[in-house]
Amino acid sequence: MESKINILSSVTIENSKDLYKVVDVLNRTLKRENLMFGLALDQEEQDKAVFTIYRT
């Protein structure tokens, strides 16, 4: 069985030390809706983060 992950939306925002907590609660709450959330540091600007929403 092949699992396909599609990017629904992505946005660059100011990084915050507690931002990962928001991503964690979204993942825990909405996994039954086949949604997944990601957070990564921007490669060019380390004070920015890239927040991405995926459909699994």
Rounded to two decimals, the pTM is 0.88
For the chain, report the end-to-end CA distance as a whole number of angstroms. 13
Question: Mean pLDDT for each 10-residue chunk of the chain (56 residues)?
Answer: 88 96 98 97 95 97
Contact 10, 52 (CB under 8 A): yes
From the CB of residue 6, how many other CB atoms can be counted at a distance below 10 Å?
9
pLDDT of res. 3? 75
Return the pLDDT at 17: 93
The helix/strand count (H/E) of the chain reads as 1, 3
